[in-house]
């Protein structure tokens, strides 16, 4: 019976197959993300949204049943894909609809504790908090932010410019605190619009009027190369009802 003689000093080569990248001048895809990645998740459908109420701290009463199912559908995806399991921190606005969404999603985001951040809230309603939209317009009028973006919605509330400035300040602070990390923020459609304006270096008074879906994910990378959109409105939709 013969035995193979062990070979010494011979390196075993592992065959690794890679697809050759086109030269830089021909390349349409970007390099892999290596900077700070912010994943902004819009909350599920909210009771105040469904009822047509200005939902600040008083007017926000959390998610509808559909909103909870939307969050559960996204959680199911996250548990299967594990795409956010390397996240270092999970932030949420302090409004109930965001806090409830974040609590549902947390098991799919590395089981992180939810850190509340008031600067991530939707546009502040001030004295209009909890009013129906009809009551807001009857009492304070409807702001024309295209003509005057500095006009507040109601006493104690924010203007379109003030909203942008707060969101920009909050997002820059978070990027500075978590360099090179994957950060998840459960926020609002308005906050995501302000982030997109930052991304594209648009003027603070710009109104993009995006249609950001409930429980969708928008991912922006901040690095030495600049800012880059990695995805927008990425969601796990429920079946049509």
Unique residue bearing structure tokens 């609809």: 97
**String of DSSP letters for 111-145:** TPPEEE-GGGSSPP-GGGTT-BHHHHHHHH----T
- The answer to whether residues 97 and 63 touch, using CB atoms and an 8 Å cutoff, is yes
Q: What is the DSSP string of 151-198?
A: --SSTT---HHHHHHHHHHHHHHHHHHTTT-EEEEEE-HHHHHHHHHH
Distance (Å, whole) CA 33 – CA 51: 40
User: What confidence score (pLDDT) does residue 18 get?
Assistant: 62
In the set 45, 100, 122, 193, the catalytic residue is 122
User: Is CATH 3.40.50.1240 the right assignment for the domain spanning 34-234?
Assistant: yes
Give me the residue spans of the domains in the chain: 34-234
Handedness of CA 49, 182, 223, 24 (dihedral sign): negative
Residue 205 DSSP class? T
The pLDDT value recorded for residue 152 is 97
Those residues with Cβ within 8 angstroms of residue 233's Cβ, 6 or more apart along the chain or in another chain: 211, 212, 213, 216, 218
Among left, alpha and beta (phi > 0; psi -120 to 50; other), residue 126 is left
* Number of other CB atoms surrounding residue 111 within 10 Å: 9
pLDDT along the chain (241 residues), means of 10: 47 54 73 91 97 97 97 96 97 98 98 98 98 97 96 98 98 98 98 98 97 97 95 82 49
122 classed as catalytic:
yes
Residue 238 has a pLDDT of 74
Q: Which residue bears the tokens 């939209």?
A: 133
Predicted local distance difference test score (pLDDT) of residue 198: 98
- Residues 95 and 121: their CA atoms lie apart, in Å, by 7
Of 3, 21, 24, 43, the active-site residue reads 43
pTM, two decimals, is 0.88
What is the model's pLDDT at position 97? 98
In Å, how far are 22, 152, 162, 229 from 26, measured between CA atoms? 6, 48, 42, 20
DSSP label at 53? B
pLDDT of residue 17: 54
Residue 203 and residue 1: Cα distance in Å, rounded? 81
pLDDT given for residue 2 in this prediction: 46
Q: Is 21 a catalytic residue?
A: no
């Amino acid at each position: 019976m013969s035995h193979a003689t062990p070979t010494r000093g011979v390196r075993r080569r592992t065959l690794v197959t890679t697809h050759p990248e086109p030269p830089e001048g021909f390349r349409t895809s970007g390099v892999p993300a290596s900077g700070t990645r912010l994943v902004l998740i819009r909350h599920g459908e909210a009771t105040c949204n469904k009822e047509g109420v200005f939902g600040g701290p008083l007017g926000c009463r959390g998610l509808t049943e559909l909103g909870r199912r939307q969050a559960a559908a996204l959680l199911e995806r996250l548990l299967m894909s594990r795409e956010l399991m390397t996240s270092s921190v999970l932030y949420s606005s302090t409004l109930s609809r965001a806090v409830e969404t974040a609590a549902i999603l947390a098991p799919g985001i590395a089981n992180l504790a939810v850190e509340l951040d008031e600067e991530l809230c939707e546009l502040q309603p001030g004295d209009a908090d909890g009013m129906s939209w009809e009551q807001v317009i009857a009492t304070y009028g409807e702001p024309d932010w295209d003509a005057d973006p500095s006009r507040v919605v109601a006493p104690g509330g924010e203007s379109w410019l003030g909203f942008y400035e707060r969101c920009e300040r909050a997002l820059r602070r978070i990027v500075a605190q978590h360099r090179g990390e994957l950060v998840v923020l459960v926020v609002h459609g308005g906050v995501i619009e302000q982030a997109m304006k930052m991304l594209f270096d648009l003027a603070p008074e710009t109104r993009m009027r995006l249609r950001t879906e409930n429980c969708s994910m928008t991912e922006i990378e901040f690095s030495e190369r600049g800012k880059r959109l990695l995805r927008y409105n990425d969601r796990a939709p429920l079946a049509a009802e």
